Structure formats: C-alpha cells, structure tokens
Amino acid sequence: MNLSLKEKVFGAIYGYAIGDALGLCAEFMTKRELKRKYPEGLTSYSQIVRDAHRAQWDRGDWTNDTSFIVMLIDSICECNRIYPKDFARRLHKWYLSDPNDVTQTMRWVLSQPDFADEPFATSRRVWNDLNSHDSPCDAIGRAIVTGMWNEDVVDHAIDIVRLTHPTTRCETSSAIIAKMANSLMWENRPAEFDDLMKIARNYNVDVVRYLEIARDGILEDINLDDPDNFWFVRKAMAAALWCVWHCESAEEGIIKVINQGGDADTNAALAGGLLGIRYGYSSLPERLITPLLRKDVLDETARKYTNILKEQFMPDETMD
C-alpha cells in the first residue's frame, strides 16, 4: 500500500493515541475480568469502567504513553535531529509537573537531580542501585517515532530507550519496533523477518522466541494478561508485530490487543502506531477519532513531524 507521507504520520500518531485511550479501559485487567466488565467486548470509549485508576482520565483521553511520543517529536522538530539529552530534559521537566500514573522505575530515574544533565549515567546508576532485572514496556513506544526518522534507525532507537530503560531486552525490542516502523514508513512493506531476527540475535537472544510467536503463533500465545509479567517489553513488541503480520486494519489490531487485557494501553498504542503507518490515517474509524480528546495537540504534532520528515528525507516530493 503506497500511502502519502502525511497519511502515514497522522496514521501513526492517531493510531497510537487511539490505542492508548481505548486500551486504558482494559489496562491491568485479565481476560476474565474484561469478560465480566465488558461482556460484549470492549470497542468504544463510552464503555469505560470508572474505577479508581481510570477515573484519573476523562473518557477518550490518552495517557503518558502518548505524551512521551509528543514530547519526543517536539524535541526532534526543535533540534532538527534526534538528540537524546534534549529529550531527557523534557522528560525531567514533565516529571517535575507531578504527572499521574508514573511507573516506579521511571519515577526513580526521572526524580534524580542529575538526570537532565547526565541521563545515560544517571539511568544506569539507578538501575544498578535498584538491582532491577525487570524490562518493562513503558518506553518502547518511542521506537515508533525514531523508526519514522529515516537515519541510524537501530542506534537511535537504542539511545532513546536507554535514557530511562538501560536493559538489553528493552533496547532490543525497541530496535525491532523501530526497524518495523521504518520499513512500513519508507519501504511500504513490513520489515523482513530475518532482519528482525538478526537484531535480536545481535543484542539479546531472549527476544527471539517472542518474534517467532508473533509470526507463527496466535495472539493468545503471548499471554498478555498474565499478572506476573504483563509489563514485559517483549510481550508489547510481540503483540504489535503480531498485528502487523495478521491484521487487515488498525481497528482490528487495536481491538484484538485490548481485549487480551494486561498492559492494554501500551500494547494497543504500539500496535495502533505501526498499523497506522501501514494502513494510514484514513483507515482509522471515525467513531474512534471524533471522541478522542486533545486532538489539537495530535494534529499539531503530526503536522510538524510530517513537515520535518519531508524536509529531511524527501524534499523534492509533494506533501500529500
């Protein structure tokens, strides 16, 4: 499918935000809980259960997952490049605004007074002090943005995620998502499976099994709602790739991932971002676009990123 640059960028950002906002309705739930609370399946913002967690947002609003990609795009557009230290300063400033729903590990990293000036060293020190072996998925969405930037795709993905998540599983999963986003964006096709496997084998072989499940298995094989490990970055990666290889629309992928439960907003945002690139903004259902909140922010973010991508990588082409 040969779509315009604008269609792909707006598709990625809106697909991401839709997955985030709708996925919030199912975040942290098991499939059994979902079935009890949404017996007909979860398909619209109006169905959201207003419990203590979800009451922090209005229906149709997106969470910190989308805020991170908006911040990253703002950084790229102002710096005219991917500049990790500038993005780190924005993350630190955002943290000081006292946002809700910040994971504990992210809170420890961003709260350090030296993070803005020495983000890589600070992040590594915090993770070492915590002796953490987790590899959570709350930073992988940045790889959608770095993947659309058609330059040093793997290196940029790794640098941007390790600002806050310096583990090889996070870095490898992010590099794979960035590679897929780049291929969908600039080659109009999914990335070659062998190329993704090469990244996994070069950086962390633990990711290989999840790539194989995504290509050859069913979505249920990923066990997204397992309460012991629903935040695994490899699971978010696998779910998004499964959708690219097995779904025929962004809506199909987003709905299927959400109704698996687990870290549903992150998983669905990642899937929606990739599928938004593949199928374009026009493929997204109006019923999920119209009630979405803060569309002015999404429009401005997508417009700016479209413009800078055109200037940098296809200056002789028309926008539409």
**What's the rounded Cα separation, in Å, for the pair 303 and 282?**
15
pLDDT range class, residue 1, cuts 50, 70, 90: low
**What's the rounded Cα separation, in Å, for the pair 118 and 217?**
42
Percentage of the chain exceeding pLDDT 70: 98
pLDDT given for residue 317 in this prediction: 67
Query: What fold, for 5-313?
Result: ADP-ribosylglycohydrolase fold (1.10.4080)
Both structure tokens of 174? 């992010």
CB 42 within 8 A of CB 25: yes
Report phi then psi at 262, rounded to 5.
80, -140
**What's the rounded Cα separation, in Å, for the pair 63 and 56?**
10
Dump pLDDT digits (tens) for 18-57.
Answer: 999 999 999 999 999 999 999 988 999 998 888 888 888 9
Both structure tokens of 30? 């098991």
pLDDT higher than 70, residue 320: no
For the segment 299-313, the average pLDDT, to the nearest whole number, is 98
Arithmetic mean of pLDDT over the chain: 95
CB 169 within 8 A of CB 204: yes
